Amino acid sequence: MTATRTKKGLGRLYKRSNGKELPAGSKVKAPYYLEYKINGKRKKVCLTDEHGNKLYTKEEAVEAQMRIVAPLQAENAERQLEAMLQAAKGETARIIDAKPALRIADAWTEYKKAHNRPKSGERTLHRYEACISAFHDWIKESYPDVKELREVGTEHAEAYADHLESKKLSPSSFNIYLNSLAMVWAVLEKKARTTQNPFAWDKKSRTGIQRKNIKAEATIRKKRALTLEEVNKVIEKAEGDYRTLLIILVCTGQRLVDGVKLQWKEIDYEKNIITLTPAKTAKRTGKQVYIPILPQLREELQSIMHNGRYVLPELVEAYDRDRSAITKRIRKIFDAAKLNAHKETDIKTGQAIVETGAHSLRHSFVTIARLAGFPDALIMKITGHTSEQMIDHYTAFDEKLVASLAANIPHALPNGNKGFIQAPENKEPLPKWALEKLKSMTAKSWEEIRDELTAQG
């Protein structure tokens, strides 16, 4: 007699007597056993109650059987359902994957519309647009079959990095291209259905495309200060707005962007100071700087027609459109002045190292300001420079104090045989006691000294 099979999935119920297996329906009094599968392996157990006693009735055996196999059936059903869900997801993904994804040609349009992109200024947005446009032009020529963002892989990104290397870009420019593309890919990740960011660099795992060391570049490319004679030569060769711009830079010590975007409202002729917030620190600290107006700058500004918000509105528009166009024009002015604009060629990059430029005027301002009698601490605040040799106690140069210093700036002749920029002739030098007070000024004593100086004025 063969063993009786129960419903599929519940296992086989049978009896066992004298070492022999008997059908579950056998009339022989013997304990019940269950044979079932678990994880693909057959298992045989003697059925017992909760106290461990063997079961001899079929009703009790069936109840024990269900206690064992019911959980297994539920687990199998769950696994089957999970497998069905995974298959459905796979099919859905396959269907979606078969549909066209975001094209590189449309990346910039979609980036501008993206709600998850960072809030960037116009200058940064122009940079992103230029970088994605340049990459699009390159990949159309180098890999014409690559149309979508998700099709750009590590091999393409590395090839583009090699292309940038071949153009002898500076380390900062090289990084700008890769960082801009990495940002665009990160923002459009979901919309483009990408699985990786080919332009990213993970410093911890050292995966992706490594960025270049900008600090090393800054040391190599540091601009030198111009002599007063060289400043005069440069200004003589400049015309129109560019002449005004160079005078602003050399008389304020500000960076190119702040010189270009100087506003009329920032100029106070009555107090003889300029009050502005440098672009570099505007977002980080928002601190203002107060700059005494040198006589040469005052004369230049007063000769310009006051028209609109900016002193140089046309240069502002040109700067926002393409900053490099302005720097190239300034370089031509330096070349026309026959300055040594280039050092030797950088062996690693093959680029000519530029020794002088608009930033040189920022350094020259320090020399001129010292000759004009500006305290070193005030010069540090105006330029944003720091010095390990100078303890920075002078953190509170306010508008009133700077105005009092500005009132003591002597008026040098703006032209003549000596040239445009000269060390001011100190017709009325500050008294020795006043100079000593300025030199001893600290963060705690500046208000008291300011009041004393202004009261004497």
CATH of the domain at 313: 1.10.443.10
Please tell me whether residues 269 and 413 are part of one structural domain.
yes
Please tell me whether residues 259 and 356 are part of one structural domain.
yes
Quick check: 383 and 367 in contact, CB under 8 A?
no
Q: Which pLDDT band, with edges at 50, 70 and 90, does 97 fall under?
A: low
State residue 95's pLDDT score.
53
State residue 350's pLDDT score.
44
State residue 15's pLDDT score.
93
Residues in the chain: 457
Q: Which pLDDT band, with edges at 50, 70 and 90, does 395 fall under?
A: very low
Please tell me whether residues 135 and 261 are part of one structural domain.
no
Mean pLDDT value of segment 42-63? 90
User: Per-residue pLDDT tens for 269-291?
Assistant: 999 999 998 888 777 677 888 88
User: Is residue 441 in a domain?
Assistant: no
Q: Which pLDDT band, with edges at 50, 70 and 90, does 3 fall under?
A: very low
User: Is residue 434 in a domain?
Assistant: no
Please tell me whether residues 246 and 374 are part of one structural domain.
yes
Taking residue 317's Cβ as centre, other Cβ atoms within 10 Å add up to: 11
Element holding 437 (H helix, E strand): helix 432-440
Residue 366 confidence (pLDDT) above 90? no
Please tell me whether residues 240 and 206 are part of one structural domain.
no
Mean pLDDT value of segment 28-44? 88
State residue 417's pLDDT score.
40
Q: Which pLDDT band, with edges at 50, 70 and 90, does 339 fall under?
A: confident
Please tell me whether residues 228 and 320 are part of one structural domain.
yes
User: Is residue 455 in a domain?
Assistant: no
Please tell me whether residues 45 and 177 are part of one structural domain.
no
Please tell me whether residues 31 and 129 are part of one structural domain.
no
Q: Which pLDDT band, with edges at 50, 70 and 90, does 361 fall under?
A: confident
State residue 76's pLDDT score.
64
User: Which carries the bigger pLDDT value, residue 256 or residue 223?
Assistant: 256
User: Per-residue pLDDT tens for 325-334?
Assistant: 888 898 899 8
User: Is residue 231 in a domain?
Assistant: yes
Cα angle: 184, vertex 281, 355; to 5 degrees: 85
Residue 86 confidence (pLDDT) above 60? yes
User: Is residue 7 in a domain?
Assistant: no
Taking residue 202's Cβ as centre, other Cβ atoms within 10 Å add up to: 10
User: Is residue 454 in a domain?
Assistant: no
Please tell me whether residues 138 and 90 are part of one structural domain.
no
Mean pLDDT value of segment 117-129? 88
User: Is residue 1 in a domain?
Assistant: no
User: Which carries the bigger pLDDT value, residue 25 or residue 344?
Assistant: 25
- High-pLDDT (> 90) share of the chain, %: 35
State how many domains the chain has. Answer: 3
Q: Which pLDDT band, with edges at 50, 70 and 90, does 223 fall under?
A: low
User: Is residue 152 in a domain?
Assistant: yes
**Which stretch of 38-42, 277-281, 392-396 has the lowest confidence by average pLDDT?**
392-396
User: Per-residue pLDDT tens for 151-167?
Assistant: 999 999 999 999 999 98
State residue 307's pLDDT score.
81
Residue 412 confidence (pLDDT) above 50? no
The domain boundary, picked from 192, 219, 246, lies at 219
Query: Which residues have C-beta within 8 Å of that of residue 217, sequence separation ≥ 6?
Result: 170, 171, 172
Q: Which pLDDT band, with edges at 50, 70 and 90, does 317 fall under?
A: very high
**Which stretch of 97-106, 260-269, 313-322, 415-424 has the lowest confidence by average pLDDT?**
415-424
- High-pLDDT (> 70) share of the chain, %: 71
Please tell me whether residues 78 and 109 are part of one structural domain.
no
CA distance 360 to 259: 13
Diameter of the chain measured on Cα atoms: 133
Please tell me whether residues 349 and 335 are part of one structural domain.
yes
The domain boundary, picked from 193, 219, 245, lies at 219
The domain boundary, picked from 219, 241, 264, lies at 219
Per the prediction, the chain carries an average pLDDT of 79
Residue 336 confidence (pLDDT) above 70? yes
Please tell me whether residues 131 and 239 are part of one structural domain.
no
Which domain does 89 fall in, by range? 12-98
CA 431 to chain centre: 50
